[in-house]
Structure 1
Amino acid sequence: MIDRLTVLTEAESAAVRDAVHGLREHWIPRGPEPAAFFTLGTPSYLDLAENPEAGEYQKRADASRPLLWESFGRLYTRLADLLSRHLGAPVHYPEHLAMPGFHVWLAAAVFTKPKAPVHFDMQYRAFTWPPGTDVTRVLSFTLPLRLPAAGGGLNLWDATYEEFRQASEKGWIEGASDLKRFHTQQYVPYTPGEMVIHSGHTLHQVAPSTRVEPDDERLTLQGHGVWCDGRWLLYW
């Protein structure tokens, strides 16, 4: 259900973190002011899935791609090489999709209760994919770069999207979070520099930290993959 790949050393993770902070003028605030949760890059779950006609996703994806490649090209290349070997197939970053990007939670946004949405990663449905795409073969990944002092991770349940769809059609549940009552929860701890990979079709949630320190921060590189004609297409 979960795979782990070491991508960066502790020192390399800290260096990427510093580079992200060096681009703070390009962070996009998310949520109410004063903002403490930001993205660097263009997540489709925020800029496309909720309002596909607005055009924000494509504009932001096109604008951020050169900046992200210039700043983190070596990281993207390493990540693609490692994933390609792990998955046994080529990995590609399509030019019309947003690059995997960064979530930045400053201390005020780090939460201590499980209030993050319980969900499946379904944002690929907002795209038109080329022939040869198999949307039953998807993946999601998180590369932590810095975590709160109390740690951070992922809550995962042994429930699949197919189970959710069937239960919903039968009227047994109203939403994805209802599945929590019938399935075992697993906590997946994160380690800076170690990428966690799972199917976006497995029920999951950003896990809370047990406490928050004044200088805490949760910084991760996020992305998704879809199988298409013999290779994995990575995007955010």
Structure 2
Amino acid sequence: MIDRLTVLTEADSDALRETVHGLREHWIPRGPKPASFFTLGTPSYLDLAEDPETGEYQKRADISRPLLWESFGELYERLADLLGGHLGAPVHYPQHLAMPGFHVWLSAAVFTRPKAPVHFDMQYRAFSWPPGTDLTRLLSFTLPIRLPAAGGGLNIWDADYEDFRQAAAKGWIDSAADLKRFHTKQYVPYTPGQMVIHSGHTLHQVAPSSRVEPDDERLTLQGHGVWCAGRWLLYW
């Protein structure tokens, strides 16, 4: 259900954080002012419009792609090499979709209660995919770069999207979050530099930290993948 892949050393993570902070003028604030949660890059779950290929998502993806490649090209190449070896197939970044990007939670945004949405990653359904795409073969990943002093991680449940469909068809539930009543939760702790990979169809939630320190920060690289004609297409 969960795979782990070491991508960065501690020194790599520290250097990457410095680069992300050096691009702060390009962070996109999310939520009310004063913002403390930002993205660097274009997450489909936030920026998809009714027509994702001509809406805000596409505009922001086109703007951010050259910046991200220039600033993090070595990281993307390393990620493609390591993840491709781990998955046993090549990894590709399609030009019409956003590059995997960064979540930045400053201390004021780090939460201590489980308030993040319980969900499946269903963004792939909004896009048109080329011939040879298998939408039953999916992945989502998080690469932690900096975590709060009390740690950070992911809550997952032993339930997948098919469980949701069946339970909803029987009228047992109204939302994905309702599945929590019937399934066991597991906490998956994060380690800076170690990527956590799952199908995206595993019921999951950003886990809270037990406490927040004044200089805390939660910085992660995020992305998704779809299988297409013998290779994985990565995007955000």
What is the TM-score of this pair, normalised by structure 2? 0.98
* Residues 21-40 of structure 1 aligned to structure 2 (within 5 Å): 21-40=21-40
Q: Deviations over 1:107-128 (max 9, x none)?
A: 0000000000000000001101
Residue 225 of structure 2 corresponds to: 225
Q: Which residue of 1 aligns with 2:42?
A: 42
One-letter amino acid of the structure 1 residue matched with residue 190 of structure 2: Y
Other-structure match for 2:51: 52
Partner of 2:61: 61
Where in structure 2 are the equivalents of 1:9-158 lying within 5 Å? Answer: 9-48=9-48, 51-52=50-51, 55-158=55-158
Aligned counterparts of 1:33 and 1:55: Cα–Cα separation in 2: 24
Shift of 1:170: 1.3
Alignment-derived partner of residue 201 in structure 2 = 201
1:166 Cα deviation after fit: 1.1
Q: Secondary structure at the match of 1:46?
A: helix
How far apart are the structure 1 equivalents of 2:145 and 2:193?
6
Q: How does 1:177-196 map to 2 (within 5 A)?
A: 177-196=177-196
Aligned to 1:160: 160
SS in 1 for 2:70: helix
Paired amino acid for 1:166: Q
- Structure 1: how far apart are the matches of 2:188 and 2:45? 22
Q: How far did residue 207 of structure 1 move?
A: 0.1
DSSP 3-state at the match of 1:178? helix
Give, in whole Å, the separation in 2 of the partners of 1:124 and 1:33: 30
Which amino acid is the alignment partner of residue 107 of structure 2?
Answer: A
Partner Cα distance (1:224, 1:106) in 2: 23
Distance 2:10 2:184 in 1: 32
Runs of 4+, deviation exceeding 6 Å: none
Q: Give the aligned CA root-mean-square deviation in angstroms.
A: 0.9
Shift of 1:51: 4.0
Unaligned 5+ residue runs, structure 2?
Answer: none
What is the percent sequence identity of the aligned residues? 85
Q: 1:55-98 CA distances to partner (integer Å, 9 max, x unpaired)? A: 11001000000000000000000000001001001110001100
Distance in 2 separating the partners of 1:36 and 1:136: 36
Q: How many residue pairs end up in the alignment? A: 235
Partner amino acid, structure 1, of 2:183: H
SS in 2 for 1:221: strand
Q: Classify the secondary structure of the residue corresponding to 2:172.
A: coil
- Code of the aligned partner of 1:182: F
> TM-score w.r.t. structure 1 length?
0.98
Q: Amino acid of the residue matched to residue 199 of structure 1?
A: S
Q: Distance in 2 between matches of 1:15 and 1:57?
A: 28
